[in-house]
Amino acid sequence: MKNSLTKTDFNFPGQTNVYHGKVRDVYSIGEDKLVMVASDRISAFDVILPKGIPFKGQVLNQIAAQFLDDTKDICPNWKLATPDPMVTVGIRCEGYPVEMIVRGYLCGSAWRAYKSGVREICGVKLPEGMTENQKFPQPIITPTTKAEIGEHDEDISKEEIISRGLVSAEEYAILEKYTMALFLRGTEIAAKRGLILVDTKYEFGKSNGTIYLMDEIHTPDSSRYFYADTYQELFEAGKAQKQLSKEFVREWLMENGFQGKEGQTVPEMTEEIVQSISERYIELYEIIVGEKFVKTENVDSLNARIEENVLNYLQNQ
């Protein structure tokens, strides 16, 4: 297996803080910039799995960079530059404490809740008689709180977000508008590539009075895609959809008795499992971007390469 980047510990000029997230490490530079490193860590059920996935960070960072460029006419976004295949430098924003999740189809955690009898998610009422992977009459927004490390995101309604003062009513209306417009654009781009954008999440923040789209967008870590050409046939047959997303990782974990619950142990991640996950990420990149994925084969050290590229960028600003 190729080396994977699972840990960083940089000290860039002007660095004021560092935040190690589930899969990304974010370095604050001065008062107004962030250096976000997309590691090869992978998480599921809010748990960081024990092995990294080669090229995953590069895939996520490059897909996000492409979609940020493709949607900048819809709303401002935080991206300034991508000095390394695994790094995005952007505007430092004060993030809203909610994630805007938009769903076009009933699947994943929403289907699991629906199957158990739930008919309302995040204040959104769901029609009776739906089946797994069925398209909603129109996309729905089901926000979650933005959890701290080690905690689980929690579903929350629009009304509760506003009543708790997490986001003002005026700004939430803007977040809703941006969310739906971004989802529509992502759906259109996916359709051109023979895919269906099933659901995704967006994160927003504010800097100097402007609301920005932050973080990644339309990657397999934040989104779910179905193959369009097999969707209807599989749906009518009640079979699992052929999909490109991280759901297959969750399914593998569940099949092996792990859902992130107390007392459960992550199953062994064999070299074959790690390789297959890496290949699925690369497959999504090539389909959604429409270009061959160019592996940045390891130099002596991924950390050294990233540090050199970021330093070069910062010194030329």
pLDDT band at 89 (very low <50, low <70, confident <90, very high): very high
Is a pLDDT exceeding 70 seen at residue 299? Answer: no
Q: What percent of the chain has pLDDT over 70?
A: 96
3-state SS of the chain? CCCCCCCCCCCCCCEEEEEECCCEEEEEECCCEEEEEECCCCEECCEECCCCCCCHHHHHHHHHHHHHHHCCCCCCECEEEEEECCEEEEECCEECCEEEEEEEECCHHHHHHHHCCCCEECCEECCCCCCCCCEEEEEEECCEECCCCCCCCCECCHHHHHHCCCCCHHHHHHHHHHHHHHHHHHHHHHHHCCEEEEEEEEEEEEECCEEEEECCCCCCCCEEEEEHHHHHHHHHCCCCCCEEECHHHHHHHHHCCCCCCCCCCCCCCCHHHHHHHHHHHHHHHHHHHCCCCCCCCCCCCHHHHHHHHHHHHHHCC
Q: What is the pLDDT of residue 152?
A: 61
Q: pTM for this one?
A: 0.88
User: Domains along the chain?
Assistant: 15-92+273-315 (3.30.200.20), 95-245 (3.30.470.20)
For 123-148, write each residue's pLDDT tens digit. Answer: 999 999 999 999 999 999 999 998 65
Range with the poorest average pLDDT among 167-176, 262-271, 290-299: 290-299
Choose the weakest-confidence range: 60-69, 92-101, 146-155. Answer: 146-155
pLDDT at 150 (0 to 100):
47
Q: What is the pLDDT of residues 187-201, one digit of tens each?
A: 999 999 999 999 999
Q: Chain-wide mean pLDDT for the chain?
A: 92
Question: pLDDT tens across 35-74, in order?
Answer: 999 999 999 888 899 999 999 999 999 999 999 999 999 9
- Mean predicted confidence (pLDDT) in 75-89: 97
Per-residue pLDDT tens digits for 201-249 = 999 999 999 999 998 999 888 899 999 999 999 999 999 998 877 777 8
The pLDDT of residue 151 is above 60:
no
What is the predicted pLDDT for the residue at 1? 46
Q: Is the pLDDT of residue 251 over 90?
A: no
